Amino acid sequence: MWLLYTTAGAVKISLKNLIASKVRSFLTVLGIVIGVAAVIIIFSVGLSAQELILDQIRNIGSNLIVVIPGGSNDDGPPAAMFGIAITSLTYDDLEELRKKNKLPDVQAAAGYVMGTVKVESDTEDLTRSFLGTTASYIEVENASLEKGRFFTKDEERNMSKVVVLGSTIAKDLFAGRSPLDKVIEIKDQNFTVIGVFKERGSSAMGVTDQDGSVTVPLKTAQKLILGINHLALIRLKAIDEKSIKPLKANIAATLRDQHDIDNPSDDDFTIRDQATALGLVGDITDVLRYFLLAIGIISLIVGGVGIMNIMLIAVSQRIREIGVRRAVGAKRADILVQFIVESITVSLVGGIIGIILGISIAFLAAVIINSMGYNWQFLLSPFSIITAVLISLGIGLIFGVYPATKASKISPMEALRYD
């Protein structure tokens, strides 16, 4: 009962002092506000970003297997992921992986090369990304056409000069006119537009931005645009998720046979599946989120130091008040509790403001990112709010102990003589 009464009185005094000294109070809680807001924003944006990436992987398909040139450890990325050009994967490898008698569990397989190229229509001159791929791209990537058609397997092999445009680049090149059967120039060669993709939206996981790029037959891209023979990667769609594990083993065996590799440690390719990608992305984003959280906590600690400094100043300014309270019967414990509760109250007020500010900024970020075409969900973890409140209370308690202890040690006679 004594502690409850003392605490209630200390809270009233704390709020009164906060209101009385608005500028000092603002500067006192500012560090806590920034730190708590950072914690809320990091958790919210981190969860939303993680869900965006995982959702894009799921949309591409959970039954996809990716073959990348260059060997790697089981857990590490291949060298090709760091921009190193590796030429160990070829069109012949793709053809071998397409054979049903060898890999009956493959529903479809597509090869890919990509880059950046100058694209010209009769009115526009743009530099955009391009994708060279196979006729099976539509099935592997779950892509859809808004108008026209995709290229055929014969066009894929015969270096046909046909092109399918993304929805955005079609608008940029033809400004409302139908692009079908129009001719555009890619690297000084004429290509006929045969189709336009449906709008897919911005994606962090696609090989290229489908909406903003041009897509041409694989051999055309290899020979006429890039002057290469190798592939950047191969994607295979399994008939179902259950067949992924044995299919990966069969793919590895087929490629080893193709490349005359006897020892698996000498593999010049890497095989990954979407389930592995989901787990890897989840692990990476978790690490990044908690790393950023640590930075937010450092901001809170800085704010706690600010509270301690202000409380020490408050102690020196309220020595006479402490002396009067001690003279009329207040114990050292009363003074100790009062200043600790004041510190916690200041910190908690800053925490509440920080929570409101953090939620507002995270929501605003979601609105802005959605307006950019991403399917960004506004996600708010109750754990982050609870964590922010507990950290605020902890900061107030930890950094309020020293000023409170100093105040409780002031003797009544010394305080009453203080001027």
Cβ burial of 419 (10 Å; 0-12, 13-18, 19+) is exposed
Q: Would the pLDDT of 333 be above 60? A: yes
Rounded to the nearest integer, the mean pLDDT of the chain is 80
Tell which wins on pLDDT, 54 or 246: 246
The tens digit of pLDDT for each residue in 171-209 reads 999 987 899 999 999 988 999 999 999 987 655 445 567
**pLDDT of amino acid 2:** 45
Question: How many other C-beta atoms lie within 10 A of the C-beta of residue 417?
Answer: 11
Tell which wins on pLDDT, 396 or 151: 151
Q: Which amino acid is at 226?
A: L
β partners of residue 116:
129
Q: Report the share of the chain in percent with pLDDT over 70.
A: 76
Q: Please, are residues 399 and 308 in contact by the beta-carbon 8 Å criterion?
A: yes
Q: Would the pLDDT of 271 be above 80? A: yes
**pLDDT of amino acid 5:** 46
**Range scoring the smallest mean pLDDT among 56-60, 211-215, 395-399:** 56-60
Per-residue DSSP letters for 259-272?
Answer: TT--SGGG-SEEEE
Mean pLDDT of 114-139: 90
β partners of residue 214:
130, 165
Q: Would the pLDDT of 231 be above 50? A: yes
Report the alpha-carbon angle 149-155-158, nearest 5. Answer: 165
Give the three-class secondary structure for 116: strand
pTM exceeds 0.95, yes or no? no
**pLDDT of amino acid 388:** 78
CA atoms within 13 Å, Cβ hemisphere of 235: 22
Tell which wins on pLDDT, 416 or 170: 170
**pLDDT of amino acid 103:** 87
How far is it, in rounded angstroms, from Cα 384 to Cα 391?
A: 10
How far is it, in rounded angstroms, from Cα 67 to Cα 262?
A: 19
**pLDDT of amino acid 170:** 92
The tens digit of pLDDT for each residue in 8-61 reads 555 666 566 656 566 666 767 777 888 888 888 878 887 787 777 666 666 665
DSSP strand pairing (125-133 vs 189-197): unpaired
Residue 180 neighbours by CB under 8 Å, 6+ apart: 147, 148, 193, 194, 195, 196
How far is it, in rounded angstroms, from Cα 281 to Cα 50?
A: 8
Mean pLDDT of 233-240: 88
